[in-house]
Amino acid sequence: MPVSSKDRERCRALLREGDSIRYLFLGTAIWLGFGPVRAQFYVVVADSEVLVIGRSWFGGRPKAVWHRYPRRIRLGPVREQPSVGPMITLGSLHLEIDEEFVSVIRAADAEISEEDVLPPDPLPDL
C-alpha cells in the first residue's frame, strides 16, 4: 500500500533540518521484546539517517520517532518467511513488510554498498 502525500509530509516534519526523504515504506512489528503485538511503523530513509516512526492505531498517522539510525545502516537482507512474508530487522525491531517494498529496501542498501551490486552490462560495446 503506497504512503499518502499527507503522511509523507508528516514524516518529513520529523526529519532533521536539511534532510529529505529518499525512501519511505511501511512495516509491521509482530513482537516488541515484551510480548506479541501488531505495531505499525514507517521506515524513512533520509539523506543522513534512517528513522523508524510509530504509526497511530487509527488512521495510520505518523506519531513519534521510535528510533534514529545512521544512514550507513543496512536495512536488509530481506528474509522470506513463508508464514508471514518478507521481514527485515532494524536493531531489535523485526518488521514484516509488504512484497512491494522489497525492491525499495534493496535500492536503499545498494546506495550505501561498497560492492558492485549491478549486473554486468550485457552489451558493453554499444
Contacts of 78 (CB under 8 A, 6+ apart): 86, 87, 88, 97, 102, 105, 106
Residue 80 structural domain: 5-111
pTM of the model: 0.85
Query: How does pLDDT run along the chain (126 residues), one tens digit per residue?
Result: 678 899 999 999 999 999 999 999 999 998 776 767 788 999 999 999 999 999 988 777 898 999 999 999 999 899 987 878 899 999 888 999 999 999 999 999 998 987 766 667 788 888
Three-class SS state of 6? helix
CATH code of residue 49 = 2.30.29
* Single-letter amino acid code for the residue at 99: E
- Domain assignment present for 41: yes
Number of domains in the chain: 1
